[in-house]
Amino acid sequence: MQTPVPDYLKHVLSQCQRNVGGQLADYIPELAQADPNKLALALSTADGMIYSSGDDGHEFTIQSMSKPFAYALVLEQLGIEEVLQKVGVEPSGEAFNQISLDKELNIPKNPMINSGAITTHSLIQTTAGISRAEQLRRFLSELAGRELSFDEQVYTSEMKTAFRNLSIGYMLRTVGALDTDPVEIVNGYIQQCAIKVTVKDLANIARVLANGGLHPKTGECLLDRAVVRQVLSVMLSCGMYDAAGDWLTTVGIPAKSGVSGGIIGVLPGQVGIAVFSPRVDEHGNSVRGIDIFERLSADMGLHLMEGTPSAQTIIQSCYWAGKNDDVRVYELRGVLQFTESEMLLRNLQEEPPGDTTIVLDLTNLTLIHDVGARMLFEGVERLQQDGHRVVVVDSEGILSEAQMKGNKRVVVKEKLTKYLEKFQ
Ligand code: DON
């Protein structure tokens, strides 16, 4: 059998094709030359599968979809606190290219609007001889899994008419939000916007955020978890500019649009999505792109506020083992976060005080959140206080060093069956 996902994506595109609302952005002359009929969609799963449909090989410029990743890069380089001194996180409720600042703090309201993105660009740390835009191109190439390049024509075209961004640059320099040459920074920012991508690149880039910053195949940490959370939060509240409220209620996933006609969306823990269709609305957001996301969200239940109920099955099985049937084994499965940990502890509460050995087997867990690890070890300590000997079997190494801290002596790394042989 063949998975129906590609057919579904094709179907969504055909449904949205007839929507010819919106216009090509023409304040960047080169974008007005785009083929308005191009249409593409890609979906990249957290475990590394990519599906795509339509004009999925067509390259276009990343434009404002570069902003969350420039933000991620500087958060990694400087830390969240330092960046917050320079760029806020409040939705502006204004157009993306508004010449405005937070009135009290005199800094741009958020990194998704141009004033915030230009400031963010200035914060990119580089080594000698490498421009900020080049630094970002390398970073995005790493996330995309292929070498990306600049579109010189779009860059030159935008520079010719960059009066508004230059005004923003001068304004930022005047109030001290920029401390370097505003023309150089705006130039670099416009180059950043001219990095060429396909929907597949964008879905793969977005997928790194969906996957908590980890490379889906190698498990390498490309972005710190706290950085991912910060970026996704800002995308959710500010990514669609002055249409963010509409987006949040109808689609409900962190997203970022670009005036070239792309939109990326990230469903944490699940997928990175990217669409492309060049006609945009008055907010600079792709008209068909919104249509596609609304359908995907409704059909696939992507809205964040729908919440995912806990699987309610943290204990896969519970039995007695050992020669004398005096070893109590709890095999756990699923994800251990607050709800499941609470459920586990409630079950362990039923263990009467005594000197039985209690084995908690983590082999079939797929993820342990920090709160899950804390609650697990709190339970271990309380069982020990009741007189039990407690062992945590972590044969797959799911617990991080930090999560195990102070509790290593109760963790064994061998397979459950091997460990239980001791009691035969
Ligand atoms: O700075 C600009 O105006 C463009 N390079 C990017 C704007 C943009 O993509 C707005 N988003 N929808």
User: What would the 3-class secondary structure string for the chain be?
Assistant: CCCCHHHHHHHHHHHHHCCCCCECCCCCHHHHHCCCCCCEEEEEECCCCEEEEECCCCCEECHHHHHHHHHHHHHHHHCHHHHHCCCCCCCCCCCCCCCCCCCCCCCCCCCCCHHHHHHHHHHCCCCCCCCHHHHHHHHHHHHHCCCCCECHHHHHHHHHCCHHHHHHHHHHHHHCCCCCCHHHHHHHHHHHHCEEECHHHHHHHHHHHHCCCECCCCCCECCCHHHHHHHHHHHHHHCCHHHHHHHHHHCCCCEEECCCCEEEEEECCCEEEEEECCCECCCCCEHHHHHHHHHHHHHHCCCHHHCCCCCCCCEEEEEEECCCCCEEEEEEEEEECHHHHHHHHHHHCCCCCCCCEEEEEEEEEEEECHHHHHHHHHHHHHHHHCCCEEEEECCCCCCCHHHHCCCHHHEECCCHHHHHHCCC
Based on the fold, state whether residues 300 and 321 are members of the same structural domain. Answer: no
259 a known binding residue?
yes
* pLDDT value of residue 204: 97
52, 53, 64, 260: the active-site residue: 64
* pLDDT value of residue 309: 65
Question: Does residue 66 line the site of ligand 1, with CB under 6 A?
Answer: no
Based on the fold, state whether residues 259 and 395 are members of the same structural domain. Answer: no
Mutation pick for ligand 1 pocket among 31, 61, 97 (CB with most ligand atoms within 8 Å): 97
From its phi and psi, is residue 6 left (phi > 0), alpha (psi between -120 and 50) or beta? alpha
Based on the fold, state whether residues 48 and 133 are members of the same structural domain. Answer: yes
Based on the fold, state whether residues 282 and 348 are members of the same structural domain. Answer: no
pLDDT in tens, 62-108: 999 999 999 999 999 999 999 999 999 999 999 999 998 998 899 99
**CB-based contact 261:277 (threshold 8 Å):** yes
Based on the fold, state whether residues 265 and 349 are members of the same structural domain. Answer: no
* pLDDT value of residue 310: 63
Q: Report the relative pairing of strands 262-267 and 327-336 from DSSP bridges.
A: unpaired
Each residue's pLDDT tens digit in the chain (424 positions)? 788 899 999 999 999 999 999 999 999 999 999 999 999 999 999 888 999 999 999 999 999 999 999 999 999 999 999 999 999 999 999 999 999 899 889 999 999 999 999 999 999 999 989 999 999 999 999 999 999 999 999 999 999 999 999 999 999 999 999 999 999 999 999 999 999 999 999 999 999 999 999 988 888 899 999 999 999 999 999 999 999 999 999 999 999 999 999 999 999 988 999 999 999 999 999 999 999 999 999 998 899 998 766 666 899 999 999 999 999 999 999 999 888 999 999 999 999 999 999 999 999 998 899 999 999 999 999 999 999 999 999 999 999 999 999 999 999 999 999 999 999 8
Would you say the C-alpha torsion 179, 183, 184, 189 has a positive or negative sign? Answer: positive
Domain enclosing residue 77, as ranges: 5-306
* pLDDT value of residue 219: 82
Based on the fold, state whether residues 136 and 237 are members of the same structural domain. Answer: yes
Ligand 1 centre to CA of 418 (Å) is: 59
* pLDDT value of residue 129: 92
158 a known binding residue?
yes
Question: Does residue 31 line the site of ligand 1, with CB under 6 A?
Answer: no
Based on the fold, state whether residues 207 and 351 are members of the same structural domain. Answer: no
Based on the fold, state whether residues 179 and 279 are members of the same structural domain. Answer: yes
Is 67 annotated in the active site? yes
* Number of domains forming the structure of the chain: 2
* pLDDT value of residue 311: 63
165 a known binding residue?
yes
What CATH number is associated with residue 377? 3.30.750.24
What CATH number is associated with residue 139? 3.40.710.10
* pLDDT value of residue 190: 98
